[in-house]
Amino acid sequence: MTNCLFNTTVLPTVTVQPSLYIRGMVWTVRERRKTVKHTNMTLRTYQETISNAAESLRTCYTAYLAMEVRTGKTFTALAAVGKYEAASVLFVTKKNALPSIEADYGTLSPAYALTAVNFESLHKVTGTYDLVIIDEAHSVGAAFPKPSKKAQELKRICQGLPIVYLSGTPSPESYSQMYHQLYASSRSP
């Protein structure tokens, strides 16, 4: 299933060519300005509508993109963050999803810097970020009675920051699981 429509154009002056620096399981994309072939992506109508979650980020500091599997949650989230105008974004996901995050970011070529890390490497995160995207948010739920290490690390990193949660199955067993997913936010109930 194709998630987006792609149009390729050549821009005559300034476009972005990302370069990749790998440190363990954390990668950072730094931008260099050059004249290169640029891939211009057009979101589908439903993705464009959902990407307006940037308004929710401005007012509530939280957006939860609960979309069906394979419908372009990553593209939609990256587009929403572009509308939010963040300069530095942390993307937390599962280890096997890191290459696809890199590809999606390269296709979009947004104006912000992106650092992607897997859940197991959260303890290595030390940067300053304007926003955090948590992929597979349903896997973050705090364990009762004490929050898991993963949940505690996310709470430390996300303190005071807007968060975009992504999940294809936000409440697989009960709606109370959503309460625990929001533990990372300093503005959660």
How do the domains of the chain map onto residue ranges?
A: 19-184
Q: Which DSSP helix (H) or strand (E) runs through 107? A: helix 98-108
3-state DSSP: the chain helix, strand, coil percent, rounded to 5? 35, 30, 35
| pTM, rounded to two decimals | 0.74
Q: What is the mean pLDDT of residues 73-95?
A: 89
One CATH from 3.40.50.300, 3.40.50.1820, 3.40.30.10, 3.40.50.280 for 19-184:
3.40.50.300
pLDDT in tens, 175-188: 777 777 888 888 87
For position 143, what pLDDT does the model report? Answer: 65
pLDDT attached to residue 113 = 94
Comparing 23 with 150, which gets the higher pLDDT?
150
Is residue 40 a contact partner of residue 7, using CB atoms and an 8 Å limit? yes
Cα separation values, 72 from 51, 69, 113, 164, Å: 11, 8, 20, 14
- Cα separation, 8 vs 16, whole angstroms: 14
Q: What does the pLDDT look like over 30-81, one tens digit per residue? A: 333 332 333 456 777 777 777 667 677 888 888 888 888 877 888 888 888 8
Q: Mean pLDDT of all residues in the chain?
A: 73
Which helix (H) or strand (E) is 10 found in, with range?
Answer: strand 5-10
Taking the CA atoms of 67, 68, 74 and 79 in sequence, report the sign of the dihedral they define. negative
- What pLDDT shows up at residue 129? 95
